[in-house]
Structure 1
Amino acid sequence: MVGIDPGHNGGNAGAPEVINEPVWNGRSQSPCNTTGTATDDGYPETDFTWAVATKLAADLRASGAKVVMTRDSNTGVGPCIDERAEIINDAKADVAIDIHADGAAASERGYSLLIPVPSGTNDEVVEPSRRYARMLRTEMRKTGMPLASYLGEGGFVERDDLAGLNLTTVPQVLLETGNMRNARDARLLKSDRFQKRTAAAIKRAMAAYLRSR
């Protein structure tokens, strides 16, 4: 079983009363969800995450894998970040990916991998998540997107404030696939070809991790 969490949702911007409600993120309170970012010409992160997620799910199912998604459309609201973790945990996924894109300064480029630190809930999967992240970093190099130098060290960013990483009981990584505010990254992120390459890279990393267990 593979878990896929496409960040945000297309209807979030129209429902602030829902997505601004606080929920438990594993350490403190955070908003239920957020709207995500967009390229300078208006291509939203929600469209990108949904495109990659659906391509990845189709590729995995074609290979015989079972897939659980945290949302089933790009027009809804939520689910909240704690619910997304619960969906993947309840499915007893063997590995999971949280797909995002960043909204950093326009001068910055590249992909980065957000990885968990022990929260009490996720302790048993912190090291497996980090091994999986190393494999994903290797595979993402083949997509044409450079490794980010503005976040973390060597492309890895430890995060203790994200529900998906704090609450997970399965190996999971959050992929910031590129910077939507950088013109060169934006051209890639909007490209169907790059989206397919990203889905393929995630699939290869998942397969490598599962073989390594």
Structure 2
Amino acid sequence: MLNEILKRPVIPVIVIDDANDAEPLAEALLKGGMDVIEVTCRTAAAPEALARIKKAFPEMLLGAGTVVTSDQAKMCIDTGVSFGLAPGLNPDTVEFFQENNTLFIPGVMTPSEIEAGLAMGLNMLKFFPAGAAGGVNMLKNLGAPYAPLGVRFCPTGGLNLDNMNDYLALPVVSAIGGSWLATKQQIAEKQWNVITAQVKEALAKAAEVSA
């Protein structure tokens, strides 16, 4: 699964308030060429939304974000998510996902947290909150000592179309997470065509880095 994630430079970070929006949202992403999604566990609708996307679009890489409790972790595994993410690094959560053979990407923002992740066999970590934690310059310096060990990052928080390639250009960055691809307001207003257009724009932008 990690290899599959590494092929996808942009991961949409989604907050769903109404589970009925799950399928049309996923369809909007797919129409834009994006077959990966991170649905955060911040709302009561998240478990049903994850289940509905899993059933309707099995071809999507289904991620669950903001997994911060044991109940949320169990829900993710029961749903059959492709991967999980969290804003922080909880050893119990990491171990639970590993025991269930499911990729987990915990959040870090210090060298000590990176080394804690390495000790647990992790080499893909979420740099969060990227913008508030020092942005591109911080990640460039933070990640450099660990790059030879194969550590890679998915910065999330404060990213947008204008700065996404600054992150993707860093050798230690494999993917980025972005909430601007489908905002809560756009989802609530069912602006599916707008979301599809934003996805296409982001993927075209990301392609510039590898061109």
**Larger RCO, structure (CA 8 Å, separation 6 or more):** 1
**Fold similarity call, TM over 0.5:** no
TM-score range, shorter chain: 0.3 to 0.5
Instruction: Using structure 1 for the length normalisation, give the TM-score.
Output: 0.34
TM-score (norm 2): 0.34
Larger relative helix fraction: 2
